[in-house]
């Protein structure tokens, strides 16, 4: 308790940390727990210590927890594992755990549209970067346009070509 008092952790903040840690331990999907382990070395046995660490502010703990949740969604979607730095950057961009699954799912489903993009550009698109999202939309429009124009028949002095010959 002295460490919390010395770290200026209020009783209300301590209560939130306890509740967040309890909820994280008992209701998190396995992908999130795995991401927390790989990103920060925190396993289930040490989760309470992660949330109650008096040397870290609540904002830092929340950012790391959100990064782990985003990492779990990236893994679950099939995108693959992300690093702690990548997760924290996405969390800092405003991507939340709830939206991360859809963002990574869209990247996985649109893999052909992101072929020329770097991993960093793909992650930026997942984080809501408008420029990178426009690149994906443009690639989709380009692919769609290749199939959008229907075939036409050419006609000339010899008749209509492209239909074959008539047996009549």
Are 72 and 33 in contact, with CB atoms under 8 Å apart?
yes
Alpha carbons 57 and 55: distance in angstroms, whole number = 7
Q: What percent of the chain has pLDDT over 90?
A: 43
pTM of the model: 0.74
Sign of the alpha-carbon torsion through 12, 14, 16, 22: negative
Q: What is the pLDDT of residue 121?
A: 93
- The confidence band for 142, taking pLDDT boundaries of 50, 70 and 90, is confident
- Pair 68, 30: CB distance under 8 Å: no
Q: Which of 7-11, 81-85, 139-143 has the lowest mean pLDDT?
A: 7-11
| Residue written as token pair 């047996």 | 167
């Amino acid at each position: 308790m002295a460490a919390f008092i010395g770290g200026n952790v209020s009783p209300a903040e301590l209560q939130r940390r306890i509740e967040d840690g309890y909820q994280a331990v008992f209701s998190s999907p396995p992908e999130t727990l795995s991401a927390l382990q790989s990103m920060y070395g925190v396993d289930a046995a040490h989760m309470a210590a992660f949330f109650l660490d008096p040397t870290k502010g609540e904002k830092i703990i929340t950012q790391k927890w959100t990064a782990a949740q985003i990492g779990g969604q990236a893994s679950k979607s099939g995108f693959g594992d992300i690093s702690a730095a990548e997760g924290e950057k996405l969390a800092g961009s405003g991507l939340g755990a709830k939206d991360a699954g859809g963002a990574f799912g869209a990247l996985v489903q649109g893999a052909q549209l992101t072929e020329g993009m770097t991993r960093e550009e793909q992650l930026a698109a997942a984080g809501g970067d408008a420029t990178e999202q426009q690149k994906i939309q443009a690639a989709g429009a380009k692919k769609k346009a290749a199939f959008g124009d229907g075939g036409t028949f050419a006609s000339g002095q010899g008749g209509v070509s492209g239909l074959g010959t008539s047996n009549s």
